[in-house]
Amino acid sequence: MTAELNWDSGEGLLAIDDPAAWDAAYERGERHLGTAVIGLAFNCPLEEASPRIVRAMRLPDAAQRGFAYTAAGTAARLNGELTPELYAALRAAAGPGRRSIPGYAIADTMTFVPFRRLPLWLKGRTIASYVTNKWDTWRSAE
């Protein structure tokens, strides 16, 4: 890792590439864990970043939880897939009809993960989204 990590200001945390450093910061209760988990999504294999992203989705700070969902969307973009644990965490957070930060991560996943690799619940959501969008297009053309 080339950058110095500053857990107080968040500076350098997008360059974090050591899951053990994130784990130690989590145990110390450091700030900016959500920011750092985005760095893990960029710089580590999905299998190493995934458990930390899921853990960050349960942080008490709402802003840092939001960054964890950004990390999940980033992981989907970069890897073209997610782990079963990440899919489960997104499903638990999604809720029916809920428009929120998890929704953006789900939208990224539906966009960047090939349909054949999506879990069944997300395939259904993808199809429903397509039908809704098509219906809205037809209605607006009238």
| The pLDDT of residue 71 | 97
Alpha-carbon distances, residue 114 vs 24, 76, 127, 131 (angstroms): 34, 10, 13, 18
In terms of Cβ atoms closer than 10 Å to its own Cβ (0-12, 13-18, 19+), residue 130 is: exposed
Distance, CA of 42 to CA of 74 (rounded, Å): 7
- The SS3 call for residue 122 is helix
| The pLDDT of residue 2 | 44
Distance, CA of 106 to CA of 85 (rounded, Å): 14
> φ and ψ at 60, to 5 degrees?
-70, -30
**pLDDT string in tens for the chain (142-residue length):** 446 899 999 999 999 999 999 999 999 999 999 999 999 999 999 999 999 999 999 999 999 999 999 999 999 999 999 999 999 999 998 765 556 778 889 989 999 999 999 999 889 888 887 788 778 888 887 6
Q: CA angle, 110 as apex, 106 and 113 as ends, to 5°?
A: 115
Q: What string of DSSP letters covers 83-96?
A: -HHHHHHHHHHH-T
> Which element (helix H / strand E) includes 124?
helix 120-140
Dump pLDDT digits (tens) for 8-27.
Answer: 999 999 999 999 999 999 99
Q: CA angle, 133 as apex, 131 and 136 as ends, to 5°?
A: 110
